[in-house]
Structures are given as structure tokens and as C-alpha cells.
């Protein structure tokens, strides 16, 4: 008898999950094994924190150093709400020259895998440190942020309480927390080596973000399984800089210009937040993420037989690095790079609930 035989949701026309699983290519799950897997399920989401340091020999950012640090920590906390890990990430701040943005990049890239066509895939230092939990002092900085002192003085608005974010943003200035959220998004995953005009690459290296992008000769799109589930179709990316979402008319994606990771300068007097789409893109780029309803694989607010069929396909493939696995490996619920019995147990519990919380 299958594990789901006693389920309150099992009917004559419903799927017996254990029977279907044991008939799959890797059918190793029986009722006893499922309950033995209980200790493997993550019990709580750990915390990702940040350490901010400055490399500013001439003291160009000194008048605002405390505010920059507090607002970077607040921006990081917004991303950390759904990061799955227990790590301290190191953000290093340098004076920069950009007149209307805060450039940000990963200081290091970590080799992840080699694809069948001899393409080497890399992930950001921040991503691997979230996954492996290294303390910030163990390696070089994870993220480099460059801030133009003139941009700070003339354009940024510093919130009196950047963690609470309740004060009205100055209509003549750009919310600094929002600007730093956008910058850290680049440092986490929204980066790579694709040419933003013609879709070519300078060599055989790809970032986990590059792997999600497609260029149709006119426009760029992102095709991650989680992101397309949230957006309900492929995501239009900014022409000329496809590490951001959306475009101005007549290109596609005008509706995405309100997202903090949009490709246009942030609007003055507006407070931005990290969107569900932003988190879904991070998960597709292999950053360990906790989604509100991760087992709802088709994003219809239910965990039902349709999701089960998607899960068994991924369970058969097993290895997240397999080219056949959907982009982002959305069925790897515990972020261990495998779709295995531990993920089955997580799915089993969600399937019993049916409705997303």
C-alpha cells in the first residue's frame, strides 16, 4: 500500500504518489524510507548576514560612511528574507565614477560545472558562500560595490531608519536602500559575460545567469523555470544590458519597469522592494532560495497532481547538473544539488496541504 493510501486527498481518480514513484527510473522510495528521511528535512531557515568594509584611501566617502553601511545592511536584509543558508557575506565598498547608478560585481567566480559542449559554468562568490556557509573572513570579499561620492551627495536619500523603511522618500532623490538592493542583486547573480547587443560571448565561460538567457536576434529573454512560472511567460530582459528586466517601449517588458532590477535608472521618490520575480530569478541562477510555496511547481497556488508529475520527472533525472533538468532545478527543495528522497519528503508534506499558504 502506498504512503498516500490514507491521505485525505486520495480518491479513485487521484494519483498514488508512492506507487508512481516506485515505478520511476529511480524508484527507491517506499513508505518506510520516507519516514526514515524525516531528519533530512531542513527544520528552519538560517540567517545570511553581512559585513561591510571600505577601501577609500582618500576618504571620498567618509562623510556618508555610516549611512552607506547601514543602508547596505538594510538592502542585504531584504535579500536575506529568502536566502537559504547560514553565512556572513563580505561587501567591500570603493569610491566609483558612475553618475547615476551604483555598479556592483562579484569579486570572485566559482567553477560549478562543465556542460557537454565544453562550456564552463560559474557562480558568484556570494552564491557559493550562501550555500556552503563560509564566514566572510575566510576568503576575499564576496561583493564589490562602487559608489560615486557626487551621486551620494546629489542624488541619494538616506532613510532615518533604513530597516523600518516607514518614512516618506524625498521626491527629489533616489531611495538609497532601493539603489543598494539593486546593486546587491547584481552581486548575487544578475551578472555574466553575454554581449548585450548581439548575444555572443567572449569565450567558453558562462555564469549561471547567462545560462538562463536567450537572444532571438532582436530581444533578450530569460527562461528559468521559476521565473517563467511567476511571470507566466519568458521574461523580457533589457536590451544592451540583459542582466536587468524590462525595456522601454517599443521593446517588450514595459510592465517590468517598476521592478527594482529593471534596466532603467530608479525613479526618484519611490521605495522599491525585492519582488517574487527577483527571488525566482535568483533561484533559477542556482542561488539557494526559500520560496513561499516551493512545491507549487506550476505556480497555480496548489500543490497537486500536476506538480507531482513535474516532480517525478526531476526525481528521475536526479542530478541538478544534468542538462535535462529544468533550469534552476526547482525541485531541489533543500538546495543540495540533487532531487532525491529528502526532496520527496518535502513535497509529500506540501502535497498533503494542497493549498499554498
Each domain of the chain, given as residue ranges in start order, spans: 3-44+294-353, 48-284
Is residue 79 helix, strand or coil? helix
Angle at 80 between CA 97 and CA 106, to 5 degrees: 40
Q: What is the mean pLDDT of the chain?
A: 86
Mean pLDDT, residues 119-141 taken together: 84
Chain segment 140-169, per-residue pLDDT in tens: 899 999 999 999 999 999 999 999 999 999
Q: Which DSSP symbol is given to 319?
A: B
Chain segment 298-319, per-residue pLDDT in tens: 878 889 999 999 999 999 999 9
> In this predicted model, which residue has the larger pLDDT, 29 or 220?
220
Give residue 135's pLDDT.
63
Q: How many CA atoms lie within 13 A of 335 on its CB side?
A: 25
Give residue 323's pLDDT.
82
Give residue 352's pLDDT.
82
User: Would you report the helix, strand and coil content of the chain in percent, each value rounded to 5?
Assistant: 30, 15, 50
Chain segment 6-35, per-residue pLDDT in tens: 333 333 444 444 444 444 443 443 333 333
Give residue 1's pLDDT.
33
Burial of 64 (0-12, 13-18, 19+ CB in 10 A): middle
Mean pLDDT, residues 268-293 taken together: 92
DSSP-assigned letters across all residues of 164-233: T--SPPPTTSEEHHHHHHHHHHHHHTS-----TTT---SSSEEETTGGGEEE-SS-EEE--HHHHHHHSS
At CB < 8 A and 24+ separation, what contacts does 193-196 make? 194/242, 196/220, 196/238, 196/239, 196/240, 196/241, 196/242, 196/243
Give residue 137's pLDDT.
58
Is pLDDT above 60 for 43? Answer: no
346 — phi, psi (to 5°)?
A: -60, -45
Cα separation of 167 and 176, whole Å?
A: 13
Mean pLDDT, residues 61-85 taken together: 96
Chain segment 185-208, per-residue pLDDT in tens: 999 999 999 999 999 999 999 999
Query: In the structure, how many helices (H) and strands (E) does the chain have?
Result: 10, 12
Residue % of the chain over a pLDDT of 70: 85
* pLDDT range class, residue 104, cuts 50, 70, 90: very high
Amino acid at each position: 500500500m502506498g504512503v498516500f493510501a490514507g491521505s485525505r486527498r486520495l480518491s479513485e481518480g487521484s494519483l498514488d504518489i508512492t506507487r508512481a514513484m516506485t515505478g520511476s527510473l529511480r524508484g527507491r522510495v517506499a513508505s518506510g524510507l520516507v519516514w526514515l528521511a524525516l531528519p533530512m528535512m531542513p527544520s528552519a531557515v538560517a540567517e545570511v548576514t553581512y559585513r561591510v568594509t571600505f577601501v577609500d584611501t582618500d576618504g571620498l566617502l567618509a562623510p556618508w560612511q555610516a549611512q552607506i553601511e547601514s543602508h547596505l545592511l538594510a538592502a542585504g536584509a531584504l535579500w536575506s528574507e529568502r536566502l537559504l543558508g547560514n553565512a556572513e557575506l563580505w561587501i567591500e565598498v570603493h569610491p566609483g565614477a558612475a553618475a547615476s547608478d551604483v555598479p556592483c560585481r562579484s569579486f570572485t567566480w566559482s567553477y560549478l560545472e562543465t556542460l557537454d559542449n565544453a562550456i564552463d559554468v560559474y557562480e558568484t562568490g556570494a552564491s557559493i558562500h550562501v550555500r556552503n556557509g563560509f564566514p566572510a573572513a575566510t576568503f576575499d570579499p564576496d561583493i564589490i560595490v562602487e559608489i560615486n561620492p557626487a551621486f551620494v551627495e546629489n542624488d541619494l536619500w538616506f532613510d532615518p531608519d533604513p530597516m523600518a523603511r516607514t518614512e516618506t522618500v524625498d521626491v527629489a532623490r533616489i531611495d538609497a536602500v532601493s539603489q543598494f538592493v539593486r546593486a546587491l542583486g547584481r552581486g548575487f547573480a544578475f551578472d555574466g559575460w553575454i554581449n548585450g547587443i548581439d548575444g555572443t560571448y567572449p569565450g567558453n565561460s558562462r555564469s549561471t545567469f547567462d545560462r538562463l538567457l536567450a537572444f532571438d536576434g532582436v530581444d533578450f529573454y530569460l527562461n528559468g523555470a521559476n521565473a517563467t512560472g511567476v511571470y507566466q511567460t519568458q521574461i523580457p530582459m533589457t536590451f544592451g544590458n540583459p542582466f536587468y528586466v524590462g525595456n522601454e517601449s517599443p521593446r517588450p517588458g514595459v510592465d517590468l519597469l517598476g521592478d527594482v532590477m529593471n534596466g532603467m535608472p530608479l525613479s526618484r521618490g519611490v521605495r522599491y522592494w525585492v519582488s517574487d520575480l527577483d527571488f525566482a530569478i535568483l533561484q533559477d541562477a542556482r542561488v539557494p532560495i526559500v520560496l513561499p510555496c516551493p512545491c507549487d511547481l506550476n505556480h497555480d497556488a496548489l500543490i497537486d497532481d500536476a506538480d507531482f508529475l513535474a516532480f517525478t520527472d526531476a526525481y528521475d533525472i536526479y542530478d541538478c547538473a544534468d542538462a535535462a533538468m529544468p533550469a534552476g532545478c526547482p525541485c531541489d527543495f533543500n538546495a543540495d544539488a540533487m532531487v532525491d528522497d529528502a526532496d520527496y519528503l518535502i513535497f509529500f508534506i506540501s502535497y498533503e496541504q494542497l493549498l499554498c499558504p
